[in-house]
Amino acid sequence: MANLRVNNIFGESGKDSNGSALFNGTDYLTAANASAFRVNQGSGQDFTIEAWIYLKEAPSTNAQIASIYHTSGNQRSYMLYVNSSLELKFNYASSGTAGSVSTLNAGTVPTNEWVHVAITNDTSATTARLFKNGFLKDDDTGAHTTYYANTTGDFVIGQNFPAGFISNLHIVRGTCKYTGDFTPSKEPIEEDSNTTVLCLNSRLDVLNDDKSNTFTQTAAGGVKASSFIPFDRSDSGNVFNGPISLNTQGYMYFPTGNTTQRGRGRAVSGAGYQHPATPSYTKSIDYIEIQSMGNAIDFGDLITIGGWMTALSSSTRGCFAGMGGGAGAGDAIEFVTIATTGNALDFGNLTVSRNYNGGTGNNTRGLIGGGYASNALNTIDYITFATTGDATDFGDLQAARTTHESGCSSGTRAVWGGGTVYTPSGTVTDLIGYVTIATTGNASDFGNLTQARRAASACSSSTRGIWSGGYTPTYVNTIDFITIATTGNASDFGDSIWSGAYKGGTSNGTRGIWVSGRQQPSPGRENIIEFVTIATTGNSADFGDSAVRDGNGSTSDSHGGLS
């Protein structure tokens, strides 16, 4: 027997159940109407349907969590859903007609948090009960003896479900699990002998169902697998009675981490200059879960509207610094708690107002290098993440430069590459410089990028730093890499899927990502999120979509300086 405190490990039960499905309001899942999905149809039957849901906003129409409910041809059977007023409801019909429909209403559900939902049928009491977060909210003590036996309509998951997640959708036929208030499990839902459906619980494959039911997407790739989960990971660990296997990644995620570090992998991306159709600077912050694929999700807002800033973080706190834009350079530093969505708070101020600077650091100290005020700067500032307050002078870069949008780091060394020397109209450089994070002082020469360019964006693992894209003065799709511990010139890594600059770069220590950016024809802007596996050279691949903007700052709770 093993007692392990790690991510991505499973025992004899099979695939990793730490996952959910991300819906976009348009695409959804269907399955042929097999008996597995038909509850209380044709004969009286106990059943339980439960799931975890996370809505970012109210749906425009009924957001179906699980249903066999087709109004055409009077084929209504049942539908668990959230309506446009954010009310959790359950419709069920005895004959399939509108006139035979009964409705339970559990009241409104909040947005931007996980909610456990459940409906049960208790034949002995002739009662249907609707629960929200374990509390009984509505019941029908004269419930239909049976529901309309719809044997032709598809089973549907996530139709009209807007920008949100469903996790651990569980159908049990023959068991009424809940008759009164209960505490929802804080672990993935387990199956029993009467379970007929257990799906949307894999961060590897949203179509995976532990009971071998087959699901189809209405549009290929429209529903994304995600590692975003509702469950707490308790400090007691998980006990596995059978053989233990790792997922495809051949390592234990953050093996030396403590409770607060396990399960990390969230990136936040803030501010920037928006799409030219509505040209303006923004203060919005988005986030993604780097281990999975999917579109960016709203996190909150910065205090300052702007762009051309940098982002840097510890494992818990993300900071945005040097915001400029329409109002010019700025000295503001703002912060968020990465694990908790919400608006940014004031952290302090840089030693000098600037934008186009590059940030990086380790779990203790954050460094902000270079930038532009009335000319290029060689200033390096530092902050202590755990303590709000103004930045302190660290030292100087080898040369004053700007538009090196982000730096990269190991736990001990911070590195900046490329940029524009002297002024924005001055010389574009291939210079790479580094400092030792724990020791204040001036930067030393590291080597050179494969080509001189500005506005390239960096990310890193604990050993390797990578720069993507840039402007030479044409946009490029070049990806370079270095070994951070060993000075020397950069080597070719592969190509970006698009030629662009001013991207927001970060990583989870294993996977590097770049968010949005600018490309030709200028001032074209993109909503592309791309990724690479840092340890393996090769071209980048599509991750999902973000807001359309450039000059945003991106960071994560698990980048190279933290892994």
The domain boundary, picked from 199, 226, 253, lies at: 226
CB of 334 closer than 8 Å to CB of 346: yes
CB of 71 closer than 8 Å to CB of 176: no
Residue that wins the pLDDT comparison between 402 and 406: 402
With a cut of 60, say whether residue 375 has pLDDT above it.
yes
Instruction: Please report whether residue 285 resides in a domain.
Output: yes
Determine the residue type at 201: N
How high is the pLDDT of residue 453?
93
Domain containing residue 192: CATH number: 2.60.120.200
User: Is the previous residue joined to 521 through a cis bond, with omega within 30 degrees of 0?
Assistant: yes
Q: Do residues 397 and 312 both lie within one domain? A: yes
The domain boundary, picked from 168, 195, 226, lies at: 226
- Mean pLDDT (whole number) for 75-104: 96
Task: Write out the DSSP string of 222-256.
Answer: -SEEE---S----TT-EEESS--EE-SSSS-SSTT
Q: Do residues 213 and 272 both lie within one domain? A: no
Q: Do residues 435 and 369 both lie within one domain? A: yes
Count of CB atoms situated within 10 Å of the CB of 60: 10
How high is the pLDDT of residue 235?
41
Instruction: Please report whether residue 255 resides in a domain.
Output: no
How high is the pLDDT of residue 2?
42
CA distance 328 to 279: 16
User: What CA dihedral angle connects 361, 448, 478 and 468, to 10 degrees?
Assistant: 10
Residue 418 lies in domain: 266-556
CB of 311 closer than 8 Å to CB of 359: yes
- Reported as a single tens digit per residue, the pLDDT across 426-461 is 789 999 999 999 999 999 999 999 999 999 999 999
Instruction: Please report whether residue 239 resides in a domain.
Output: no
- Reported as a single tens digit per residue, the pLDDT across 317-351 is 999 998 765 556 889 999 999 999 889 999 999 99
Instruction: Please report whether residue 235 resides in a domain.
Output: no
How high is the pLDDT of residue 54?
94
- Mean pLDDT (whole number) for 248-275: 60
Element (H, E) at 67: strand 63-70
pTM over the 0.85 mark: no
Q: Specify the DSSP class assigned to residue 41.
A: B
Q: Do residues 70 and 128 both lie within one domain? A: yes
With a cut of 70, say whether residue 251 has pLDDT above it.
no
Average pLDDT of the chain to the nearest whole number? 86
The number of folded domains in the chain is 2
How high is the pLDDT of residue 245?
46
Count of CB atoms situated within 10 Å of the CB of 445: 11
C-alpha radius of gyration, the chain, whole number: 26
Q: Do residues 212 and 270 both lie within one domain? A: no
- Reported as a single tens digit per residue, the pLDDT across 29-44 is 999 989 999 999 878 8
Q: Do residues 291 and 184 both lie within one domain? A: no
With a cut of 90, say whether residue 193 has pLDDT above it.
no
Residue that wins the pLDDT comparison between 90 and 256: 90
How high is the pLDDT of residue 417?
93
- Mean pLDDT (whole number) for 266-287: 81
Instruction: Please report whether residue 273 resides in a domain.
Output: yes
Highest mean pLDDT out of 216-230, 290-304, 380-394: 380-394
How high is the pLDDT of residue 520?
65
With a cut of 80, say whether residue 275 has pLDDT above it.
no
With a cut of 90, say whether residue 423 has pLDDT above it.
no
Domain containing residue 305: CATH number: 2.120.10.80
- Mean pLDDT (whole number) for 386-408: 89
The domain boundary, picked from 177, 201, 226, lies at: 226
- Mean pLDDT (whole number) for 98-117: 94
What does the block give as tokens for 35? 């008996």
Instruction: Please report whether residue 259 resides in a domain.
Output: no
Instruction: Please report whether residue 163 resides in a domain.
Output: yes
Instruction: Please report whether residue 231 resides in a domain.
Output: no
